[in-house]
Amino acid sequence: MTILKIARMGHPVLARRADPVADPTAPEIRRLAEDMIETMIDANGAGLAAPQVHVPLRLVVFQAPGERADPGLAEDERFDHTAPLTILANPEIEVLSEVREAGWEGCLSVPGLRGLVARPAHIRYTGLTLDGARLTRVARGFHARVVQHEFDHLDGMLYPQRMEDLTRLIFESEARHHLRREDGA
């Protein structure tokens, strides 16, 4: 496996709609997915989309382990904060509730920054596995946030474009000051 170079905000591959994966069972797609997983783990990410590694295809890998959930999440967002390691080609999202939850997001393509982003709290997503089977899951909380964040990359969207208040875009190194201020300290 290979650790791939991650595209950063401003690179054109991150601003365009990715192309469909013609055959998710193809050996080159499996190899790309394996390299993406290795890259995501090496970078300590929760997910990675193919455009982030300079490949404009609709392919994502993600996981939402419980220990990655931010301590400041609302109880509703903690409801479902786990997802197994998942690889999906040509994924789609269906919003199941218009209720939105705000949560802090970071991105491997926007290193060193975090932003407060409101997203639908309850979704269903589908896509094709590397075996060509259709996978469907319902997600809430951190799981839903990670999925939506990664799927956004497939449409040329980065999380700062989803932010409603850019004063909530902060450097990770300063997050402790910001969170302390929110807690009234």
- Would you please indicate which residues are annotated as catalytic (active-site) residues? 150
**C-alpha distance across the termini of the chain, in Å:** 46
Structure-token match 């393509």, residue found: 109
Please return the burial class of 60, using the count of CB atoms within 10 Å of its CB with bins 0-12, 13-18 and 19+: buried
What are the Cα distances from residue 43, in Å, to 39, 148, 154? 6, 19, 20
Helices then strands, each counted (H, E), the chain: 4, 8
How many C-alpha atoms does 89 have within 13 Å on its Cβ side? 22
φ/ψ of 100, rounded to 5, equals -115, 145
Instruction: From 73, 72, 50, select the one nearest 61 (Cα to Cα).
Output: 50
